[in-house]
Amino acid sequence: MVFTSAANRLLILQVGFFPAAPPRVTVTTGGLKQVRVSGAVCASTPGVSDARTSHPLSPTVGATATPRYRPEWRTALVARELARYKVEITALSETRFSGQDQLEEVGAGYTFFWSGRPKEERRDAGVAFAIRNDIVGRLPCLPQGINDRLMSLRLLLRGDQVATIISAYAPPMTNSDAAKDKFYDDLHALLATMSKADKLIVLDDFHARVGTDHAAWQGVLGPHGLISYNDNGLLHLRTRAEHRLLLTNTFFRLPTREKATWMHPRSRRWQLLDFVLVRRRDRQDVLVTKAIRDDDG
């Protein structure tokens, strides 16, 4: 995720999922971004045990931006924050780690799985999952890295249900149209592989401001978005409409401080750039999506 100018501010986007259990999703913006979701997900990785274990609807998922230190320093810092907020599964972005690898933070109790560009290439993105170690041991498979902007994770839920969580990090507005087109092509291809029967949760930083025209985007955009809009927002909305996904952040009437996830460094205005998406049919599973800043206590 993108750093704000107020690097020490921690913002949590908290979402209640699945009425069967009182779960939460947390995405944090600023110094750290985390997301918690009830109902976890995982994708196959070579060399992992194929033991199949159902998971209760209560894991936590997140997305984070990490400081630019050595990987082991970054993961230690993030792991401490995840433990503080009792996050179970977290999707991270803008990690800038190279290649695909994993690292266990034994003391904090998390394992990090990441996907990035080769070491010799410029690394300006990177995605990862941080998963609490006791949950790693129960996964039927481990997170799958698609490239440096997309990862997925699958998990068996109670009642033979399957959920997939996707961590996505879109190119910012300053990137070329070709880079944006490639990202959305890759995302379309990934979403097309998902079984229609599965629960689907997309945790994303799309650098997208989607505005408030919910009449034009019925079933995608709710009536409680924020006014700001940009070209990435249009790409974002078109993709969501094609795959019948809705932006849960825009379906709850909340004050701006409980909705916005990023502050523009020059205007100092808070904006909504980070989203939690679900299938339209699963809208009733989402109890609330709201941002909590670190000064809220």
pLDDT digits (tens, 9 = 90+) for 122-177: 767 888 888 899 888 877 788 989 898 899 998 877 788 888 888 888 887 777 88
Retrieve residue 264's tokens.
Answer: 């523009």
Instruction: Decide: 279 and 199 in contact? Cβ < 8 Å.
Output: yes
Return the closest-CA partner of residue 286 out of 184, 203, 188, 205.
203
99 phi-psi bin (left φ>0, alpha ψ -120 to 50, beta other): left
179, burial (CB in 10 Å: exposed 0-12, middle 13-18, buried 19+): middle
Instruction: Decide: 238 and 203 in contact? Cβ < 8 Å.
Output: no
146 residue type, one letter: I
Pairing between β-strand 162-169 and β-strand 199-205 as defined by DSSP bridges: parallel
d(CA 67, CA 6): 13
| Spans of the chain, pLDDT less than 50 | 1-11, 19-69, 296-297
pTM over cut 0.85: no
Task: Tell me how far CA of residue 155 lies from CA of 56, 94, 140, in angstroms.
Answer: 10, 24, 7
The string of pLDDT tens digits covering residues 191-213 is: 999 899 999 988 877 666 676 66
Rg (CA), the chain: 17
Domains of the chain as residue ranges with CATH: 10-296 (3.60.10.10)
Number of CB atoms found within 10 A of residue 252's CB: 17
d(CA 217, CA 39): 27
The string of pLDDT tens digits covering residues 94-103 is: 777 777 778 8
